[in-house]
Structure formats: C-alpha cells, structure tokens
Amino acid sequence: MNAGIFAMLFVGGGLALMVGGLLFRVREREKALADILDLPFGERDVRPDSVSEGYSPLVEGTIGLAGKVVDQFDEKGAVQAALERARIPMRPGEYAITAFGASLTLAALLYGLTGTVIIAAVGLIVGPLGAVSFVRYRIAKRRKAFEAALPDALTLIASSLSAGHTFLRAIQMMCEEAEPPMSEEFARVVAETRLGDPLVDALGRMAKRLEVRDMDWVVQAIRIQQTVGGRLADLLHTLADFIRAREEVRRDVAVLTAEGRISAYVLTALAPFMFLAIQVISPGYMKPMYSGFGLVVLAGTALLMSVGSVIIFRMCKIEV
C-alpha cells in the first residue's frame, strides 16, 4: 500500500511539473512577443523562431486535437472569448490540456493521500470545475478593477478635453497614466481606431466585451452627445460623478454582505476538509460510507451542501 501511495505521489508530481512547464512556456512566449512588439521599427531584426509557437510536433498535435474537440462543443467561440476577457494567454486547446493535466494531478494526489478511488474520481470532477471557475474569477476580478477605475479615467479624459486635446488624444494620455486593466482595454480601443474603426464603435465593443453596465451608459451618452451636440467634457464629468457614487454604494453593499459571504465559504469548505482529514488520519473510519446506503448519504449530503451554498451566495449577491 505504501509503495502504491508513493507511486501515485510521483505520478501526480510529474503531471504537476508538466502542467507548470506548459504554463511557464506560455508566459515566457507572451513576454517575448511583448518585448518584440515594443521595439522601435528597425532597431534590430526579429528571427522567425522568436515569434513561432516553439512546441514539438507531438505537443502541437495534441494541442490541435484538443482544440478541435473544444470547437466541436463550442461553435460560438465562447471559450476563446472567455480566455481573452480573462487575459489568459492560451488557446482553447492549450487551456483544455492544462486543465486535464491539473485534474489528473489532483486525482493522483487525492488517491495517494487517501487510497480511495471514489475520492480520486471526485478530483477528476473538481479539476474541470476549478478550471472554469478560475476563468470566471479572472473575468470578475478584471471587471471589478475596471469599474473601480472608470470614474477617475473619465475625469482624466474630461480634463484633457477641457485643455484642448481631441477625444482620441485624451484617451491616449489616459492610457499612459492608468493601470491595467483600464490601460489595456483603452489601448486596444486606440489600436482599433488607428486601423480605421470609428472611436465610438470601438468603445461599444469594449463595453460589450467587458459586460460593464457603466461603460454601456458612457457609450450611449457619447452617441447621444454626437447627435445633439454639447460639451463632451462636461458630460464626462457628470458621468464620472454618477459612476463614482454607484461605486461607493457597491462598496457599502460589499461590506454589509461580507459576513454572509465568509459564512458561505467556511460552511462550504468545512465538510470536505473534515472528510478528507478523517480519511487521511483514520482510513477505516469512513469505510462503511463507500458502499450501499452510505453512498446515497454522501450523494445527498453533497447535493444539500451545494444547494445551500448557492442559496447563501444568491442572498449575498445584490445588484447595484
């Protein structure tokens, strides 16, 4: 039994190193591309292999196969759009392979710790759910950071307009002063405008991509201002004050619901943690639960916990 546990731990560690190496390779490739794109024109030659994928044929074929499988179930490109919104520099096939390797690693580690196939199978289920949750977490984190920085960005753009700069130049100056994700998203707007796209249309696509209601209102207000006329700087100052007030209300709501959210996290994680701890400390204690009516009890418990957690989180989620 000890030899099997050590074997599973070695397998899990190897898979973890493989996944970590793939993530490190992707990050290094992104940094290399960013360094190349930031160079002035003609400063030095760029070798073709510096911007190529650099994977071996076997790895590239595996990633391509995984990408085709993802495309079969995702005809609308939702996975690619989600990775783009989360600023994860990976293709859908790469992310699928990474999630699969992480799931196998988690299952191997759980089996090595507990020696139970059922718990290892749970790890195979939790792995893909964790991969999806990670993407959603990155998207929500960037959205919240964008919403928090939007009033100051609008104020800076309005001040530049009052100083006599054009709308596009005011956005460029704001990008130089702002922090990501604000600078990243507006820099993309500037790049699309340089390619010939109307500025308001580029802003509208950014608002749709981020799914930020405040930005939708800003775009609609700019469209109306371009139709009826008026001072754009005064309009942006008014919008900045309004959005800043909404952000203060959001923060108050977050403070008032913090206790409920923490309770949901603790109650949701307590039972699985205790179950795993008992299984590691005394493996034979939970053995009757793995057969017969015990499986029904475990399934019912997991279902009730999931429903309760969803209810608590829904109660704590208040739209402003």
Q: Each residue of 97-146: pLDDT tens digit?
A: 888 888 888 888 888 777 778 788 888 888 888 888 899 999 999 998 99
Query: Do 86 and 180 form a contact (C-beta atoms < 8 A)?
Result: no
Q: What is the pLDDT of residue 79?
A: 83
Report helix angle 78-85 to 92-114, nearest 10.
80
Residue type, 262: I
Those residues of the chain that have pLDDT short of 50 are 1, 40-46, 48-53
DSSP 8-state secondary structure symbol assigned to residue 52: S
Q: What is the DSSP letter of 48?
A: G
CA distance 246 to 214: 9
Q: What is the pTM of this model?
A: 0.74
Give per-residue pLDDT as tens, 79-92.
Answer: 888 888 888 888 88
CB 79 within 8 A of CB 95: yes
Give the pLDDT score at 219. Answer: 92
Backbone angles phi, psi at 58, to 5 degrees: -65, -45
Q: Tell the residue number behind the tokens 């939702």, with chain if given.
A: 78
What is the reported pLDDT for 13? 58
Do 66 and 93 touch, CB atoms closer than 8 A? yes
Alpha carbon separation from 205 to 161, 199, 201 (Å, rounded): 23, 10, 6
pLDDT at position 42 is 45
Q: State residue 35's pLDDT score.
A: 59
pLDDT at 112: 78
